[in-house]
Amino acid sequence: MFFFQDNIGSLIQIHNTPFWRWLITPGAEHFAPITHLLFYLEYRLFGVQFIPYFIITVLLHLICLTSLCFLNYRLTKSFFLTILTFLFFAINLTYTEPLLWLLQGLILSTIFLSLAFYFWYKFMEQNKTKYFRFSLIFLILAAFSHGLGVGAGAVFFLATILNKEIQKKIFGLKAAVIYLIVGAVTYLTGPLVYRDLTRHILPAVTNPIKDIVLYTAFVIAGVARGVVGRFFLPGFEPRHFDLIPTLFSFLPSVIIFSLIVILLRKKLDKKIKLLLTTTCLFIIYPYIWAGFLRFQFGLKQALAERYAYPSLFFFSLLLAQLIKNCSYKKFTSRLLLLFITVILVTFQTIFFIRNAIIFEVKPGLTQKYFEKLAYVLENSSSVLDLPLPSYINQEFYLSDLAPLIIPEKFLPRFIKLDKKYCTTELKEIIKNPVILNFYYDQSKDPVVQRSFPETNLFECKSK
């Protein structure tokens, strides 16, 4: 296990950017000062030692899991359903990105969003101002931990409006509007503070009809296949052009949402109907948000594993509610449910391990790259300032990365890739076979090749 892609860019930025500037620097489209504060503290404590970061990520996942169990128990009053919910969310094949890619902001935001959801529901039950205020605080924390939180205010607005009892009260209507305003303000804060984010306020729409179709497909595919399909049919992901298998992969979501419609048509308690409706909104919302920014990248992006994490959180709550409102209290029913859940968890674990092995190829290459680069930096008086290789996928150079690996006072001189790069000093350095092999391996990388093809290395060596 090792750092991957965006992690490298973040580490370089932390090292080269003043603290306050780093806090407001966006990561992709996310204005996330809380997550940036956490990552900054981790870097100052652990440097480029990956394992402590990973341990903190796992701890955050366990906190999120604890929050889910607490929330579910308060909603269902059932220890058995809480155990099932724990198993539903504890492991999933989609966790390779949130856990191994150190997407701590996504997990942190889900924790805060779950607490906002809990206090919102308490507010719906009791109409007490203190619960409303707590829900707003956690909504803001979720917004500034990851982009996931920014539009959740709109979801709380809709959910509050759906509650007829609260809606009739003046404070209830005001609360709904405040949720909407807070969501909008947190969404606009990033572009206001960091001007380069302005272009991300609205997605680029070139063909309205085509883009609407793509956006809709993004949301439907993300929820139906990326969350529900992967939950009940782990590992079964046919190509989009395989029509019959693809339709089959949508079958679990059709069954689940049909069951919800049937339940909503029954004479259930108003609180249960509100809970089912709101939970569904929170399952779909992360993909509405992601599609808002990413639909142009197509269905492959919609099925990216990182988007499933918050939706799975609320999907686990939804499953518990569905089971609660069905006949499950008999011993045989409980035993069957537990058996099915254990089977699902077993398959989720197997496919998580498979995905992790596949995912770890590039981080493994990055780790070896760090080790080789450390040797080159420690044994060279001058180093070619090559771009970082394709598997790191960051537009930085060796001179940007080097201070993370060895102390700056011991850094060698960096040689720009111009016509005068082949100095007598460099020719002497590459007589070391380890250093020569490092440059040779890099010259074959597709990104490095553009600036430094292997012919340049051999020409310099032969002069």
Please say whether the beta carbons of 186 and 34 come within 8 A: no
What is the per-residue pLDDT across 346-402, written as a single tens digit (0 to 9) for each? 999 999 999 999 999 999 999 999 999 999 899 888 888 899 999 998 889 999 999
Chain centroid offset of residue 376 CA = 34
What is the per-residue pLDDT across 86-102, written as a single tens digit (0 to 9) for each? 999 999 999 999 999 98
What is the per-residue pLDDT across 407-462, written as a single tens digit (0 to 9) for each? 888 888 888 887 677 777 877 888 888 888 888 888 888 998 888 888 877 777 77
Of 103-112, 254-263, 449-458, the poorest mean pLDDT is in: 449-458
What is the per-residue pLDDT across 300-329, written as a single tens digit (0 to 9) for each? 777 788 889 999 999 999 999 998 887 666
Closest alpha carbon to 175 in 163, 159, 160: 160
- This prediction has a pTM of 0.91
Q: Phi first, then psi: give them for residue 394, nearest 5 degrees.
A: -135, 140
DSSP strands (E only) in 357-425: 382-384, 413-415
Average pLDDT, the chain: 86
Residue 198 has pLDDT above 70, yes or no: no
Residue 170: predicted pLDDT:
60
- In this prediction, residue 215 has a pLDDT band, given cuts at 50, 70 and 90, of confident
Q: Is residue 387 classed as helix, strand or coil in its secondary structure?
A: strand
Q: Calculate Rg over the CA atoms of the chain.
A: 25
Residue 199 has pLDDT above 60, yes or no: no
CA distances from 92 to 129, 232, 309, 360, 412 (A): 37, 11, 9, 17, 45
